A and B are shown apart, each in its own frame.
Chain A
Amino acid sequence: MTAGPRAESLYRPPPSPRPRGSRIDRVEVLDNGLKAILRSLPGVPQVSVWVVYRVGSRNEVPGMTGSTHWVEHMLFKGGGKLAKGDIDRLISRIGGKYNGFTDKDWTMYYETVPAERLETALFVESERMRNAAFDPKEFDAERTVVISEREGSENQPEFLVEEEMWGTAFHVHPYHWLPIGYKQDLAEMSRDEVYAWYRKWYAPNNAVLVLVGGFDADRAAALVHTYFDPLQPEATPPAPRFEEPPQIGERSAEIRRPGEVDHLEVGWKIPGWTHPDLPRIVMLTGVLGGWRGFGLAGSGGWTPRANRLYRGLVEARLVSDARAGFELRLDPSLLTVSATLIPGVRHRDVERRLDGIVAKLRDARPTAREMERARELVRAWDRYEADGVTSQGFMIGQLEALGSRETFPQFLDRVLAVTPEGVRGGAETYLVDRARTTVRYRAEAPA
């Protein structure tokens, strides 16, 4: 790849952030292998405590799909020094918020609480790391809850499209299924199987603890040792050996269901987080559909309009909305474009227009103004991700699950340094028909 001098001159380093307390994280590695990252922000009235476990649906095997997510549910039901309902009570009484998330590559739990109640959050997380009860009666009651969660998702066309997309694009790798798992597996998995899954993966040496907020770092570090030092490590399970073979031709799938609105999703294979091409895929996504980030809350509920997808598909009245994006993934993954069709518009009309948009990206460099807008959206996303301790905790946890948060500033610099030719080359390399998967959701009149 070559970069034109004009493109290079457009690069501006991000403005220096105003002082907002110490941004130098303290890292403690306990004897049992737990890595603790402490970001002290003096004066901030909240603290957010996150624990990320390096296990997700990526680690599952057929017959056990959804087991990681089920473990997450069970970890709110007590064990050790926590009776059932104690987590709800303890966090509720201090006005905290809390939740858990199961992803393809990781599982995370968090509590955001008033800063002076840090110890309560550490207590909860230390107990659930090794001591969850998995009471058989509770496990049976949760089976229908997990299935209900899946059934609620099945009601939404967007979920069905997503499940079909990953199931069609990945034949070998566990990204083939979504973290919620298949219904038949959820109906048949036993308590002992899921408990064994928990014991295998939930150990201090497979976790990272993240603290962000208004605390004294020395005191917080002492509390971390108090609560987590007694926990025993486990033998680290081997990394999954599944590798998706290269896609050697276009794939497509169709869903037909009663309804009124059609949907379309197109996905192209892209490399995983550590690949050197990822920065230009960020910029490619920004030029194509506007950069909204890959975080929890940073992007908010807004619609980018100054981009090729919006202008080519929405302004043309083919679709009511169109998005481009990708998830941060350990392994090769997908860049997707998803759209909701205007009634009466045919899939092939949208696909033809999308083909034209993509071909143009492959054939010609984006303009300097497009590049600068995409860079500005990336800078803005980085700025807004740092708003609030919860969001910062999530971002640190996610980056640690994928490798290390320490490389992120360099990653951003590399994104901002991508040239127009880099974007064009990225489109030429990755937005190709042989690596494309298309899912068409066709709404039919009820029988």
Chain B
Amino acid sequence: MSLRPDRIELEGGGRVLFLENPASPFVSFQGSLPAGVAAERPGEEGVAEFLSRLLLSGTEARTARQISEAIEGHGATLEFTVAEDILFFRGRTTRRAAGKVLGIAADCLFHPVLPAKEVDRVRAEVLTDLGRERDSTRERAERELLGLVFPGRHPYGRDPKGDEEAAKSIEPRRLLEFQARCYGREGLILALAGDVDGGFVRSTVARALEGLLPGPPPEPAPPPAPGPPGSAFVDLPHKSQADVAIGRQAIPRRHPEFYALDLANLLFGVIGIYGRLGQSVREDKGLAYYSLSRLRALRAGGSLSIIAGVNPGRLEAAMAAISAEIDRLQSEPFTEDEIETGKLNRIGGLAVNLERNAEVAAALHGIEFHDLGLDYLERYPAIVNGVRPEEIRQAADRYIRKADCSLAVVGPIGGKTFAL
């Protein structure tokens, strides 16, 4: 199977990437518009997410029930979700039904109607989710951390759902204003994988997207401003376990240090059962079931975070172990053998992590969104091999540092506070 996708620019705006897998009997798709949290203006907090949850609720031509019956009647799926930079639409379908399913997706995006009953339903759903999140130690710790890492209500630090006040006050008029401003076809990216080819894309797919409305993409998110490290401690006494989240701002996806930091993060808290961090905190000391790190590299910025789920009686010990592992990056930098393992993992993983159509579609989407080039997957091994060990160690040294990190702990912690 080739690793180089084809790309077609749609007349009137929009780009389609596709990669054929002759062995596959269906099509996975992942599309987007730049209408995520970053597109919200002041006073619009929560609008992008709220609208995304309404997109299957009816169009000028179809009721919500007609939409779900048409999609499921073909055994297809279609979902809309919001992330920091973009609105995603994802699904799967047979080749035979793809034109219809993508046509429905386009109709939902560009001609939504917002029935009052459905607006009320989504409002109740968002409020329920906010309540559920407040009671989840892990989700709340991660949410608190992002608010500290991206201060000043930056889109990367906000809950996409907004807050309770926003959810209660969002009106259909503001949702439609947002849709009219941000859902232009010039920002459309659609990636397809599986039972597809050029003729199919140029005819069936292009025809399905004919009804898209013109419009330029909104301004992307501004780079996040730096802020001082902060901390948040939330006592939920009825829980069995506390969740710890530690993190700081990192770099955007197109930053020159991305591949070095990606490898550093891999070795620090991902590879095997969670890299060095998991080896110490979980394997050697038995302090947590999960203790791992995560790099999120977005369009305008990013974050590097560490999370761990810990028994409240072992919090101090777990934080000391995490702290020691961060310090060890300076005292015992990654060895040549570790770095070689990390590179082999990333390169070997290219085949392993692209085994499903949905995984291929997501990779193609990322290639276009971040402008990585159609030959990106072919170049990837050389890119990884070209990162010098010293660059990986420097990236770890620069971005995995206690002094820059914020801290959130949520769980049965009483009035305790903690520090790294």
What 0/1 pattern do residues 28 to 71 of A give for CB contact below 8 A with B? 00000000000001011110000000000000000000000000
Whether A390 pairs with B355 at a CB distance below 8 angstroms is: yes
Contacts of A384 in B (CB 8 A): 26, 92
Whether A96 pairs with B128 at a CB distance below 8 angstroms is: no
| A/B interface sample: 21 pairs, CB < 8 A | A18-B23, A20-B23, A45-B1, A96-B348, A117-B348, A144-B286, A144-B311, A145-B282, A148-B241, A154-B240, A258-B236, A259-B131, A297-B356, A300-B358, A305-B68, A305-B72, A306-B69, A306-B71, A321-B125, A373-B72, A443-B135
Contacts of B352 in A (CB 8 A): 46, 95-97, 112-114
Stretch at the interface among B38-46, B339-347, B401-409: B339-347
Closest to B358 in A: A300
A96 and B271 alpha carbons, distance in the complex (Å): 10
Which of B1, B289, B344 is the most central at the interface, judged by chain A CB atoms within 10 Å of its CB?
B289
Whether B273 pairs with A155 at a CB distance below 8 angstroms is: no
Whether B23 pairs with A95 at a CB distance below 8 angstroms is: no
**Interface of B toward A, CB cutoff 8 Å:** 1, 22-26, 56, 64-65, 68-69, 71-79, 91-92, 94, 117, 120-121, 124-125, 127-129, 131-132, 134-138, 195, 236-241, 271-273, 279, 282-290, 309-311, 314, 340-341, 344-353, 355-359, 411
A95 and B347 alpha carbons, distance in the complex (Å): 7
Q: When A and B form their complex, what is the total count of cross-chain residue pairs whose Cβ atoms lie within 8 Å?
A: 220
A383 and B23 alpha carbons, distance in the complex (Å): 12
Of B26, B79, B195, which is within 8 A of A303 by CB? B79
A398 and B290 alpha carbons, distance in the complex (Å): 26
Contacts of B349 in A (CB 8 A): 95-97
A405 at the interface (CB under 8 A from B): no
Closest CB in chain A relative to B165 CB, distance in Å: 15
Whether A94 pairs with B26 at a CB distance below 8 angstroms is: no
Closest CB in chain A relative to B319 CB, distance in Å: 15
Closest 10 CB pairs of A and B: A95-B348, A380-B75, A88-B272, A260-B131, A95-B349, A141-B286, A305-B68, A151-B240, A144-B286, A306-B68
Whether A261 pairs with B273 at a CB distance below 8 angstroms is: no
Whether A315 pairs with B92 at a CB distance below 8 angstroms is: no
Contacts of B350 in A (CB 8 A): 95
Of A113, A147, A320, A387, which is within 8 A of B124 by CB? A320
Whether A304 pairs with B72 at a CB distance below 8 angstroms is: yes
Contacts of A17 in B (CB 8 A): 25
Closest CB in chain B relative to A135 CB, distance in Å: 12
Q: With A377-B72, A391-B356 known to touch, is A148 a contact of B124 (CB < 8 Å)?
A: no
Whether A383 pairs with B311 at a CB distance below 8 angstroms is: no
CB within 8 Å of B: which of A67-122?
Answer: 76-77, 84-85, 88-89, 91-97, 112-115, 117
Question: Interface size of A by Cβ–Cβ distance < 8 Å?
Answer: 87
Of B69, B239, B289, B346, which is within 8 A of A148 by CB? B289
Closest to A305 in B: B68
A343 at the interface (CB under 8 A from B): yes
Closest CB in chain A relative to B139 CB, distance in Å: 10
Whether B289 pairs with A149 at a CB distance below 8 angstroms is: yes
Interface majority SS on A: helix, strand, loop or mixed?
Answer: mixed
Whether B238 pairs with A85 at a CB distance below 8 angstroms is: no
A200 at the interface (CB under 8 A from B): no
Of A343, A373, A381, which is within 8 A of B128 by CB? A343
A303 and B78 alpha carbons, distance in the complex (Å): 9
Of B1, B91, B128, B236, which is within 8 A of A302 by CB? B91
Whether B341 pairs with A89 at a CB distance below 8 angstroms is: yes
Of A43, A146, A391, which is within 8 A of B23 by CB? A43
Q: With A18-B25, A317-B121 known to touch, is A152 a contact of B241 (CB < 8 Å)?
A: yes
Whether A376 pairs with B74 at a CB distance below 8 angstroms is: yes
Closest CB in chain A relative to B411 CB, distance in Å: 8
Contacts of A146 in B (CB 8 A): 289
A150 and B77 alpha carbons, distance in the complex (Å): 33
What 0/1 pattern do residues 153 to 191 of A give for CB contact below 8 A with B? 011110000000000000000000000000000000000
Whether B351 pairs with A95 at a CB distance below 8 angstroms is: yes
A376 and B75 alpha carbons, distance in the complex (Å): 5
Which of B138, B351, B357 is the most central at the interface, judged by chain A CB atoms within 10 Å of its CB?
B351
Closest to A95 in B: B348
A10 at the interface (CB under 8 A from B): no
Contacts of A93 in B (CB 8 A): 340-341, 344-345, 348
A379 and B241 alpha carbons, distance in the complex (Å): 42
A425 at the interface (CB under 8 A from B): no
Whether B355 pairs with A152 at a CB distance below 8 angstroms is: no
Closest CB in chain A relative to B245 CB, distance in Å: 14
Contacts of A386 in B (CB 8 A): 25
Contacts of B78 in A (CB 8 A): 302
Whether B23 pairs with A44 at a CB distance below 8 angstroms is: yes
Given contact pairs A77-B283, A95-B351, a sample of 18 additional A-B residue pairs in the complex whose CB atoms are under 8 Å apart: A18-B195, A93-B348, A95-B347, A95-B350, A96-B352, A97-B349, A149-B289, A150-B240, A152-B309, A258-B135, A260-B132, A302-B78, A376-B74, A380-B76, A380-B92, A387-B24, A390-B355, A391-B356
Contacts of A92 in B (CB 8 A): 271-272, 341, 344-345
Contacts of B26 in A (CB 8 A): 383-384, 387
